[in-house]
Every structure is written in structure tokens, then in C-alpha cells.
Structure 1
Amino acid sequence: MNDQSVVRSGPLRFATAERFSPPVPVRGVEPAHGSGGICPQPPSRLDKVMGPPHDRRPQSEDCLHLSVTSPTAPVPVPARVPAPVPGTGRPVLLWFHGGGFSSGAGVLDWYDGSALAAEQDVVVVSAGYRLGALGYLVLDGVSEGNLGLLDQLEALRWVRDNIHLYGGDPGRITLFGQSAGALSILRLLRMPEARGLFRRAVLQSAPVSIATRSLAEARETGRLFAAHLDADPHTASHEALLTAQAQTAADLQQLVGNTLVPPFGPVADTRSLPAGPEDFAFDPTAMDVLYGWNADDMSAFPEGPNDQGGVAERTHRAYESPLTALHGELERAGARVYGYRLDWRPRGSAYGATHCVELPLLLGSAAAWHGAPMLGDLDWSEVDGFGREVRTAWATFARTGDPGVLPAPMTALDR
């Protein structure tokens, strides 16, 4: 496919939300003010691996924004555009970022889809969602949880309703995400309200064993959080919320002994996620899934008292074993499923094929990823050379439901 120029639009507001309230969708295309706020958050615990983001964005609860990158310039708004004809337009890939449900933002330059859109003639969308306690707190009289998941559902609906303005086909939407973003997609696969809104899913390094906590566990976490917060959650400052969140995380680390488990995340057995833990809500005749992990995923995380052993052993427990089991569950539910393992170990990196190392292969630019420790001594030309092959596989999957022959050092997996 020939490279072409693309247009990156945004930040665009897809919804608004009062604190601890469900999102209210924005109808049509509404540019966000300024550079677009990102959800209040602490520094990422993976800064040592990825490096901190070079683009500093204001933190704000007005953070339900997305960006759209397309080879087609957007149709001027307001404009009367005919309803899209299914099967026309470019495949759409909607990205949900990782960050342990506590950090990150879809509008960061790390997640710029320009290379993917230009090379593969697709439309790339990258969306944000509420994080930490603001997104996933369960506390009586305050929040029922899963607000970040509801945000993602509204982003998906916005794409369905508006992506034709950017040359995209609302009937060919592929969700792709990494870590917490991949877990979010897994929850959307089980969410009745998301049924029929997307056709394909890519799950990158999803730590399935921590995919969903029970309502009882979430309530206990909420009580810990409230005990640390010496203020009304509805009016507390962002600093106070983040401090209580950090203290809650420390408490849970002592209780759980696993450094992979974040304090907040999706909660089962709620009105927003009523399906049982083994139930999928997708149409079994219309779902393709590509999943995988990185061979050294756990090199990014320190050992915990209940998560000891070498990197290979810990990666097997946290990723390989549960993802292999997920492969079988998805197939039994009727999906077509493809698996991969990424063995790409950048020269000069102490982390090997670590958590997040595939991100520069798919999204972002040389400037966005400059100085990332996980990339070691590689020139960007080397990163981009292999990245082009990976982007081809992801776009082929979005287009056909089959990634084709995966490029080495990426291994296709059978169960």
C-alpha cells in the first residue's frame, strides 16, 4: 500500500460528565478547547520503561476527548452528509490506551495514528476515558463504578455515528488496546450494550487474571479510599483524590502482594456490567479477535511477595497461561481467534521484549518516543522498519479478520 498524507483532527469532545456521574454523549463533532485536558493522574509507574510523555497536557475532568487520523480531510461541520452505506469507507481502528487504569490519555503523541493511517489507508481513532477513582470508584452514595468503561462505550458510539465524516466505515470498526486498554476491550466484549458496535478486537498484553474485580472487592477498596480521603469525594481537590488513591494502592499492595494489580478498574455484577464472568455479549457470527503478549512482559514490573520468580516464569503466569485459556473461551463463544507472541528485544535495552515495547511499532513518532529506555540503542529507522510490518498485520486484520503471516520476531500461536 502506498503511503499518503493524513489529517489528524482533535482533540474532539465525544462526551461530558459531572464528577462520579455517567457520561453524557456529545452529538456531532465538537472540538475540545485548547490542547484538550487529560484525566487527573499521577506519573506512570512505567516511566522507567517508556520514559515520560514529551507532550505535557493540562489535567482536567473535562477529559472525554479523542483524536481522528485519516487520509481523508474531515467534512466541514455543520454539513449535511448522507447516511453512510455499510461496506463503504475505510476500516476504522479505535485505540484504548493502557496505564493500569490510573494514567495515560488517548490524545498523547505516543498514540498518534499517522503512520498507521498513511501506510495502510485506514482511519485511526484514539480515545481517552476517566481513570483511577474518578473512573472506577465504588462507594455508596458516590459512585457505582465502571464510569471509565461507560466513557469508552460512548467513544465507540461517537465513532459509529460520526466516523463517516472522516472517510471511515462504521460497519468495520476494530477495537485495539494494550494492557488496561486491552482489558477494557475484553469487558466490552462481555457488555450487552456494546453488542454490534464493533466487528473485531485486538488485545495486546491483557493481564486477564486481573481483568475484573468482584463487587465486594471493589466496595472494600472504596472504603479504604474513603478512609484516606479527608474530604467529600464530590468536592475534594484533584491532589487530595490522587493522594488517597496512592495510599489505597499501597494498602492493596500489602494485602495482595502482586505488583500488577491496580487499585481501581472494571467491576463485575453491576448494572453497567451485568454479564457473568464467563459470558460474552458479542454476536458469535461477527467477531474476530487477535490477542497476544510480549515474551518479557513482566520485566517492566518488580517482583511482589506473591509474584516471585524469573521474568519468563512471571510472564507465563500473568500473561501466557490466562491468555491461552481466553483463546479457548473465545472460540467456544463462536469468535475466530488468532494468537501471537512478540519476541522483539531492542538492542541495548535492559528490558527485552517488555510490556509496552510494541507501542512504538504501531503508534507515535520518532519525536514522541525519543529516549524511551525500552527501545535501547535502536535508531528510529530500525524501529519504524519492523513497525511497518506490524502495522501491516494489524491493518490486514482490521480489513479482513485475519492478520496473515506475522512478521518475525513475532510468533503465531496455536492453542
Structure 2
Amino acid sequence: MSDSTPSRTEEIGTEVTGKEVIRTGPIRYATAERFARPRPVPDRDPRPATGEICPQPPSRLDFVMGPPSDTHPQGEDCLNLSIATPARDAGARPVLVWLHGGGFATGAGLMDWYDGGVLAAEGDVVVVSVNYRLGALGYLCLDGVSEGNLGLYDQVEALRWVRTHIAGYGGDPANVTVVGQSAGGISVRLLMELPEARGLFRRAVLQSAPLEITARPREESLALGQVFADALGTDPRTADVPAILAAQSETAAVHLRTAGRRMEPAFIPVEGVAPLAPPDTPSDENVRRLDVLYGWNADDMTVFLGDGEDPAVRTREVYEEPLSRYGERLARAGARVHAYRIDWRPAGSPFGATHCLELPLLFGTRDAWRSAPMLGGTPWEETDRLGRALRSAWLTFARTGTPGDLPAPLTGGPAPKVRGKAS
């Protein structure tokens, strides 16, 4: 494996929790024409990375997470990543690759929310945060235009980049843990099944992945793709970005009105392409010997409820039961599987242990998260104390394949059982 590193990246050394961390990026890991699969960039790409994130509308969860504190240019040269590392040496540290959530429509690895500096400093690990294509640009399925699942292929290309280059950033390409939340967790579940991703990581973390909407049959995806094309009214391959986003919005409204599934985005991965197995049939060959940590937040559904819905019932239906069934299947297939549940309900928050609540705990980026409404009136010092405990569990998993325990009040009552320890 090569330890060559791309040129023209910005490196900033800063002190985090008393230790120096080098932040590098944005780095262009691939390029892609619109609606085409990504291509790797040359090792010495002479062009500076743009730092763009995929074009997107505002997040539907701004009222929970707060609007992002940083802004980034939006554009289609968005296959960029950032790295946080304690040192660019031969340390061969564990590597965590972060895949953000956002309903396959919003978010970016370059956002301050997902700065890996605290994890890198506390755990002596390398953290890679990845952008990938979203919405119609990443998941449109339309004959003659786009096969679908391009955002998933972007993630595979990012993992290939990590395998080739991460040793030059102090990381061990043979010890990679891919971590994803919500749509990012769905992505992790699909990557575990994807033949192209086999061998690119040895551990996986799925945080609050709503597996009931993992992928859509190709026929349904094609029908929605035609709704998008009709709304756009021009060739998707040449339409301008504002028109693409407007047609996305109209397609989402039609999908909600006709399907009635509030949780399901209009553009998600497509079954039968890549190829992807049906959601409940893990491939024994792909997942055997993987270490997997999965879980959910006790009140994940409080921000997604329809009229008259019970948050406990819906959290069980959308998160707990599908994740638990999948964990059991993984264990039978030969994976080593562990489960968690976050029960912490911040004082003063109307949302409880809601969707995304673990993110400020995991990343510990005070300036990015301290004003998040879901944290209520909790002083940052308390959030950080709990965050250290959660980060310790995730970091232990990245090193050993077994997570540390989560103390109260992160979890309360009987913890979810470990779903299997297949060897």
C-alpha cells in the first residue's frame, strides 16, 4: 500500500484537550461527472480542493440540532474529506471514518459538527470525515440518466482513498472502523453488504439507523425518478443546481402525499443496483468476522412524530426492532455484535433522548454544539463529562472490537443485551 499523500492540503496544528492535533483538509478523494460513478484522483492532483459540499436544502432538523455554525460553498466538486490526527508519523493508529446523517439529502463531513479533533486527541486515533453526494445528485434512479446509489459509491471510493493514503497521516489502513449516524448508519449497513467494500474496514458502528427504510425497490425508485424528471421539465444532466433542488423538493412532496411515509426521503439507496441485497438478508461472506456496534436513542422518534403517534411505540418500531433483528442476523452470519441504547434526557430539553443527541457527545466540539436546542439547559461541562464516557466506549471498540460500558445517565435500567459474540 502506498503512503503517498495528495498535495495542496491545508494543515493546521492546534491544541485539543491539552494535546496537539493536526487537521488536514479539505482533500479531494475523487471526482465525478454528474450522475456518473466516482473516479479516484491522482496521488499528486495539482488542483486545490474546493471545499465544496453537495448542494442541499436546509436541514429539517435545524430546530433540534440548531443551524450549523459554519458555512461551506455548495457545488458538485464535493467529494472532499477532512482528517484529524495526533501526528503524521508511523504511529499506525486506529482509523475512524465518519459518514454523516441527514436523510440522504443534507449534511457534510466538512461541517464543524463533525470535527474529529477531540476524538483524535483523547483516543490517539485518526478521524476521517467524508462528504458524499446527496439527494437526486447521489440517489436518483432514472433510466438513461442515473443508475442510483452514486452516494454509496462515493463512500466506497473514500474508503479506498483511506486504504491507500491513511498511513501517511499516522493511521493503520488495516484497522479501519466506519461509523455512521441515521442515513450514515444506513450507509454503513449497506457497505457491510457491498462486494466492492469488502476488506476496506474491519469494524462498523451504526448509530440510530432507521433500517426499515434502508433501500427502495428499483421499480419504485424509477417511478419517483420520473416524478423528479417531470417536475424538473428539462434534461437532468444539464439542468442548473437550483432547478435540481427545486425538483427534489417537489418530488419529496409528491412522495409524502402518495406514499404517506413521513420518515422516508424521496431519494434513498436502490435495491438491485450495485448490487444491493434485500434489507433483511445479510451476506455471510461479507460480514463474517466483522465487529459491529449498533444502537439507538431511547426517544429517537420525538422529532419525527405524526399526529397522535406515541414516541415510545414509534421508536421501538422504527429503530429498536429493526436494528435488533439485524443484529441477530449479523451474529448468526458470523459477526461479533454489540448493542447500546442512549437514555440520557438533558434537563430543559423538550425532546428527551432524541435523534442526534449522541453527536455532541461523540465529537465534543463545544463551539459547534453548545447552542443545540436538544441539549436544553445542560452546561457544556456536563455534556463533555458524559461525552468523555461515550467517546471512551467508541474508542475502545475501535481498538479492540469490544465497547466499554456506558454509565448512567447515558443508559439507565437494564441495558440492551449483547446480540452475539461469534468468533
Asked if TM exceeds 0.5, the reply is: yes
Is the CA contact 2:94–2:172 (under 8 Å) kept in the aligned structure 1?
Answer: yes
Partner in structure 1 of residue 145 of structure 2: 142
How far is the alpha carbon of 1:163 from its aligned partner? 0.4
Partner SS for 1:28: coil
Partner in structure 1 of residue 9 of structure 2: none
Aligned residue identity for 2:81:
L
How far is the alpha carbon of 1:34 from its aligned partner? 6.7
Distance across 2 between alignment mates of 1:301 and 1:115: 30
Distance across 2 between alignment mates of 1:32 and 1:56: 22
Partner in structure 1 of residue 13 of structure 2: none
Indicate whether 1:406 and 2:406 are aligned.
yes
Partner in structure 2 of residue 207 of structure 1: 210
Partner SS for 1:27: coil
Distance across 1 between alignment mates of 2:271 and 2:288: 25
Is the CA contact 2:198–2:286 (under 8 Å) kept in the aligned structure 1?
Answer: yes
Distance across 2 between alignment mates of 1:237 and 1:302: 34
Alignment counterpart, residue 120 of structure 1, candidates 110, 118, 123 = 123
Partner in structure 2 of residue 52 of structure 1: 67
Indicate whether 1:395 and 2:395 are aligned.
yes
Partner SS for 1:170: strand
Alignment counterpart, residue 302 of structure 2, candidates 296, 299, 303 = 299
Is the CA contact 2:282–2:330 (under 8 Å) kept in the aligned structure 1?
Answer: no
How far is the alpha carbon of 1:67 from its aligned partner? 0.4
Partner in structure 1 of residue 7 of structure 2: none
Is the CA contact 1:12–1:29 (under 8 Å) kept in the aligned structure 2?
Answer: no
How far is the alpha carbon of 1:282 from its aligned partner? 5.0
Partner in structure 1 of residue 29 of structure 2: 14
Gap change, CA 1:139 and 1:19, over 3 Å in 2: same
Give the 5 Å matches for 1:218-297. Answer: 218-270=221-273, 272-277=274-279, 278-280=281-283, 283-297=286-300
Distance across 1 between alignment mates of 2:380 and 2:187: 30
Partner in structure 2 of residue 334 of structure 1: 334
Is the CA contact 1:11–1:66 (under 8 Å) kept in the aligned structure 2?
Answer: yes
Partner in structure 2 of residue 362 of structure 1: 362
How far is the alpha carbon of 1:276 from its aligned partner? 4.3
Distance across 1 between alignment mates of 2:251 and 2:193: 28
Distance across 2 between alignment mates of 1:208 and 1:141: 29
Gap change, CA 1:159 and 1:349, over 3 Å in 2: same
Partner SS for 2:129: strand
Partner in structure 1 of residue 179 of structure 2: 176
Distance across 2 between alignment mates of 1:335 and 1:20: 34
Tell me the TM-score normalised to structure 1 length.
Answer: 0.92
How far is the alpha carbon of 1:366 from its aligned partner? 1.3
Distance across 2 between alignment mates of 1:318 and 1:154: 30
Distance across 2 between alignment mates of 1:363 and 1:29: 31
How far is the alpha carbon of 1:332 from its aligned partner? 1.1
Tell me the TM-score normalised to structure 2 length.
Answer: 0.91
Indicate whether 1:40 and 2:55 are aligned.
yes
**CA deviation profile, 1:209-234 (whole Å, cap 9, x unmatched):** 00011111110110111110122101
5+ residue gaps, structure 1: 76-83
Partner in structure 1 of residue 114 of structure 2: 111
Partner SS for 1:133: helix
Distance across 2 between alignment mates of 1:288 and 1:22: 29
How far is the alpha carbon of 1:258 from its aligned partner? 2.2
Partner SS for 2:381: helix
Aligned residue identity for 1:337:
V
Distance across 2 between alignment mates of 1:141 and 1:328: 39
Distance across 2 between alignment mates of 1:28 and 1:395: 30
Gap change, CA 1:183 and 1:347, over 3 Å in 2: same
Partner SS for 1:292: strand
Is the CA contact 1:67–1:126 (under 8 Å) kept in the aligned structure 2?
Answer: yes
Distance across 2 between alignment mates of 1:222 and 1:399: 42
Partner in structure 2 of residue 81 of structure 1: none
Partner in structure 2 of residue 23 of structure 1: 38
Distance across 2 between alignment mates of 1:35 and 1:62: 7
Distance across 2 between alignment mates of 1:118 and 1:29: 28
Number of residues paired by the alignment?
398
Gap change, CA 1:31 and 1:110, over 3 Å in 2: farther
**CA deviation profile, 1:292-314 (whole Å, cap 9, x unmatched):** 0001101111316xxx5211111
Partner in structure 2 of residue 80 of structure 1: none
Partner in structure 1 of residue 201 of structure 2: 198
Gap change, CA 1:35 and 1:115, over 3 Å in 2: farther
RMSD: 1.7
5+ residue gaps, structure 2: 1-16
Is the CA contact 1:14–1:30 (under 8 Å) kept in the aligned structure 2?
Answer: no
Aligned residue identity for 2:416:
L
Partner SS for 1:328: helix
Partner SS for 1:93: strand
Which deviates more, 291-300 or 368-377? 368-377
Gap change, CA 1:217 and 1:386, over 3 Å in 2: same
Gap change, CA 1:29 and 1:14, over 3 Å in 2: farther
Distance across 2 between alignment mates of 1:31 and 1:280: 40
How far is the alpha carbon of 1:237 from its aligned partner? 1.1
Percent of aligned pairs sharing the same letter: 57
Is the CA contact 2:28–2:49 (under 8 Å) kept in the aligned structure 1?
Answer: no
